[in-house]
Amino acid sequence: MAPSTKTVLIPIAHGTEPLEAVAMITTLRRGGADVTVASVETQVGVDACHGIKMVADTLLSDITDSIFDLIVLPGGLPGGETLKNCKPLENMVKKQDTDGRLNAAICCAPALALGTWGLLQGKKATGYPVFMEKLASTCATAVESRVQIDGRIVTSRGPGTTIEFSITLVEQLCGKEKADEVSSILLVRPNPGEEYTFTELNKTEWLFEDTPQILVPIAEDSEETEAIALVDILRRAKANVVIAAIGNSLEVVGSCEAKLVADVLLDEVAEKSFDLIVLPGGNGAQRFASCEKLVNMLNKQAEANKPYGGICKSPVYVFEHNGLLKGKKATTHPRVSNELSDQSHIDHRVVVDGNVITSRAPGTAMEFSLAIVEKFYGREKALQLVKATLV
């Protein structure tokens, strides 16, 4: 590790909000930070919210004497309560504060952890809306900013503000130039907090019986934030989402070395029918493209006029290269957009053309997921999730 590399600790627990944790891990690693994900439980595997499993790099109990440039706490319940009650973590965060190093927290964690530990007295701080009263009771000045910096403490509100929060942390650690570089790669929303939109052509009703059955494949080098955003948002909408791993292991290491855990292997569901098959991106898209079973499933989906979608590099590597975008408008990541045969919509953040939905990057993943919710359930349901996640 280079002497100038900044070190970051992200503790996780059962009931941690996975989208917050994963977006922080991946964004900070893109910024060049050496990020350690530490479980405060007795094992490295944790059951995060929405049925999503995460695997930490280490146990917190093994690194309590380590020093970090930044400690950042994700939210989620009961994970936030568990972090608050973890005495070794409390001691580390308090020492961090005493030594003048950065602490940060999002969602319920500013109120439950930093506030309870007495670190927000006289500080401006923000958090998840239902915790604002609790935040004020800790002698903090509760503000409704999406991201709030006060001295060496940075706070934020919820899943939909996590990338902005993480970019701010990159800037605090590594400077504005690096933060702007990461922001441009992620395609961060230019208007955070404004109502999401998407481009739709050849409007088609997406049908399902009882509950949408949705398949989200993952592979080595899949983009973690895109994958988890899809699963998190669609499960919040009460869709039945199956995470299926390409290969022989349920545990997959993503493009930013976050560890993801599938529900099943793709082989186990290759003969099943789904209302939607939707692919995250990253370099894992090339693994999708070389997976004959997945490509066959997508071809059958297209032949049956059933929805399929992809984000980032997947529209090019999987759809374009297999003839699944014929006659369709689509978007993709800027780095590969020159490989689309029809480039008329490459600057659009989310494009729906009939039964095909495509999007661009981690920074568009929430809009992409919400557009899917809208197609299945209607805009009112999607806007309820916007409010719940603070997109």
Write down the pLDDT at residue 26.
Answer: 98
**Per-residue pLDDT at 329 exceeds 60:** yes
**Per-residue pLDDT at 1 exceeds 60:** no
Report the distance separating Cα 137 and Cα 140, nearest Å: 7
Write down the pLDDT at residue 331.
Answer: 98
Architecture of domain 199-389: 3-Layer(aba) Sandwich (3.40)
Identify the CA nearest to 165 among candidates 126, 216, 198. 126
Beta bridge partners of 148: 155
Mean pLDDT confidence for 44-52: 98
Question: Among residues of the chain, what percentage have pLDDT more than 90?
Answer: 98
* Assigned superfamily of 7-186: Class I glutamine amidotransferase (GATase) domain (3.40.50.880)
Write down the pLDDT at residue 109.
Answer: 98
Q: Which of 107, 256, 291, 312 is catalytic?
A: 107
Q: Which residue has the higher pLDDT, 4 or 167?
A: 167
Question: Among residues of the chain, what percentage have pLDDT more than 70?
Answer: 99
pLDDT digits (tens, 9 = 90+) for 239-284: 999 999 999 999 999 999 999 999 999 999 999 999 999 999 999 9
pLDDT digits (tens, 9 = 90+) for 7-42: 999 999 999 999 999 999 999 999 999 999 999 999
Identify the CA nearest to 301 among candidates 333, 269, 348, 263. 269
Q: According to CATH, where is 3.40.50.880 located in the chain? A: 7-186, 199-389
Residue owning tokens 């809208």: 374
Is there a contact between 169 and 72 (Cβ–Cβ < 8 Å)?
Answer: yes
Could you give the strand order of the β-sheet that contains 53-55, starting from the edge strand earlier in sequence? 45-47, 53-55, 259-261, 251-253
**Per-residue pLDDT at 3 exceeds 60:** no
What average pLDDT is seen over the chain? Answer: 97
**Per-residue pLDDT at 127 exceeds 80:** yes
Q: How confident is the model at residue 4 (pLDDT cuts 50, 70, 90)?
A: confident
> 107 an active-site residue?
yes
Query: Dmax over Cα atoms in the chain, in whole Å?
Result: 62
Mean pLDDT confidence for 286-291: 98
Is there a contact between 312 and 346 (Cβ–Cβ < 8 Å)?
Answer: no
